[in-house]
Amino acid sequence: MSYGLNDFITGMPKAELHVHIEGCVEPLMLLRLAERNGVDIPYRDEDEVWAAQDYGEPALDNFLKYHENCLRVLQTGQDFYELAYAFFKRSAEENIVYLEIMFETQAHISRGLVFSECFDGLNQARRDGRRDFGIESNWIMSFQRDHSAESSMEILDMAKPFKDEIIGVGLDNYEVNNFALKFVEVFRRAREEGYRLTSHCDCNQQNSIEHIRQCLELLQVERIDHGLHVIDSPELTAMVRESQIPLTMCPTWRPSDPAPRRLESIREMLELGLLVSINTDDPAEFASRYLNNIFIEMHKHGSYTKDEIVRLTRNAFTSAWISEDAKAHYLEKLEKYVAGK
Ligand code: HPA
Ligand code: ZN
């Protein structure tokens, strides 16, 4: 029975909307890039890298300290190309047909890298991924919210020649208090320039409800990455349900977690009628790994049914920043798959 469902999950056409390309640096690639680029990292072999992924609390901060190593080994356009191409290939194996992928900005520029070189590498991989694996995708440019608004404005300038290749902007990294306040002008400009808008509101952060409210009201985001704590406020729940603001949840887990985290809350979100989807966030940096594995473990540990898994997948296509025609195309593909099983 559950073997059948695993096959169903694996073969199902899927979308992923919340994944950071820098979170796709696999342990072996981390070691290889560190050596190739002469970057010191605190791990000697793959076992040590895997062991380092057992982030203690506070989980976001400790995760981001590990993540810093994955950023530092990326040095050239070729590195970005190889990273992204490997991710497209892996995603095709997962039967993902559509991706929205975040890339970080200040995290690279502040190390002296050149925006156009990094982005050219990523975008060449996107073209090759489409050619070789038939995967459609869009880029989301993420500002690091612990950096200044001025540097985000400079990055909007740098991104101008590539505007047509970048669908939206987002905010990630450390969740510093009331971060939305300093990005009002940045987001207004991004909106005027035609970018779609999202922001992380991470799980278990201080002031989370207020952060979500500020992102919605002040930044006018159209989507929230994570956004778990919406359900802690009846008022926000009603607002997000009515406007069908997508919430891109990531039930990731660490090697020593007994089960995927947040499964009950995700079911509650579904039952409340929120537009919640399932995503990997940083598949090379969590024990949860890639999308099929997450769905399979949601079934195993949270008794998620086939219907619930299909609903979550439908939500992902509905939440995507693509034309209504493209949405209809993917949803039809999904419904045909479901009907044929
Ligand atoms: N939250 C904040 N910053 C991040 C994340 C995340 O989930 N992944 C990579 N950078
Ligand atoms: Zn994220």
pLDDT digits (tens, 9 = 90+) for 65-75: 999 999 999 99
Span 27-43, average pLDDT: 98
> Out of 76-80, 234-238, 258-262, which region has the weakest mean confidence (pLDDT)?
258-262
pLDDT band at 1 (very low <50, low <70, confident <90, very high): very low
CA dihedral sign of residues 198, 202, 206, 210:
positive
How far is the C-alpha of 44 from the C-alpha of 66, rounded, in Å? 14
Whether the predicted pLDDT of 60 surpasses 70: yes
Nearest atom, ligand 1, residue 226 CA: 7
CA of 261 to the centre of ligand 2 (A): 15
pTM, rounded to two decimals: 0.98
Two structure tokens written together for 266: 């995700």
* Encoded amino acid at 89, one letter: K
In the chain, the amino acid numbered 285 is E
Closest CA to 12 of 110, 94, 98, 72: 94
Per-residue model confidence (pLDDT) at position 81? 99
Which residues fall inside 5 Å of ion ligand 2, going by CB? 281
Answer yes or no: are the C-beta atoms of 89 and 133 closer than 8 Å: yes
Taking the centre of ligand 1 as the mean of its atom positions, its distance from the CA of residue 18, in whole angstroms, is 10
Would the CB of 282 count as within 6 Å of ligand 1? yes
**In this structure, which residue's CA is closest to atom 3 in ligand 1?**
173
The DSSP result for 284-332, as a single string, is TTSTT-SHHHHHHHHHHHH---HHHHHHHHHHHHHHSSS-HHHHHHHHH
Residue whose Cα lies nearest atom 10 of ligand 1: it is 173
Distance 280 CA to ligand 2 centre (A): 8
Cβ of 283 less than 6 Å from ligand 1: no
Interval 279-333: pLDDT, tens = 999 999 999 999 999 999 999 999 999 999 999 999 999 999 999 999 999 999 9
Q: Token pair for residue 192?
A: 């005027």
d(CA 147, CA 176) in angstroms, rounded, equals 10
Percent share of the chain, pLDDT over 90: 98
Beta bridge partners of 77: none
How far is ligand 2, taken at its centre, from the CA of residue 243, in Å? 22
Ligand 1 pocket residue status of 205, Cβ below 6 Å: no
- Residue 3: predicted pLDDT: 58
CB neighbours of 221 closer than 8 A, spacing ≥ 6?
187, 197, 198, 199, 215, 245
Question: Binning pLDDT at 50, 70 and 90, where does residue 341 land?
Answer: confident
Q: For residues 310 and 322, what is the distance between their CA atoms, to the nearest angstrom?
A: 20
Question: 């995290």: which residue's tokens?
Answer: 107
Are the beta carbons of 231 and 265 closer than 8 angstroms? yes
Give the ligand at the shortest distance from the Cα of 22: 1
pLDDT in tens, 157-211: 999 999 999 999 999 999 999 999 999 999 999 999 999 999 999 999 999 999 9
Mean pLDDT, the chain, as a whole number? Answer: 97
Looking at the CA of residue 23, tell me the nearest atom of ligand 1.
Answer: 9
Ligand 1 center to residue 173 CA distance, Å? 5
Do 70 and 23 meet the contact criterion of CB atoms below 8 Å apart? yes
Q: Which tokens hold the place of 252?
A: 């990731």
Burial class (CB in 10 A: 0-12, 13-18, 19+), 173: buried
Give residue 328 CA to ligand 1 midpoint distance, Å. 30
pLDDT for the residue numbered 259:
87
Q: Kindly state if the Cβ of 104 falls inside 6 Å of ligand 1.
A: no
Between 59-72 and 27-37, two packed helices, what is the crossing angle to 10 degrees?
A: 50
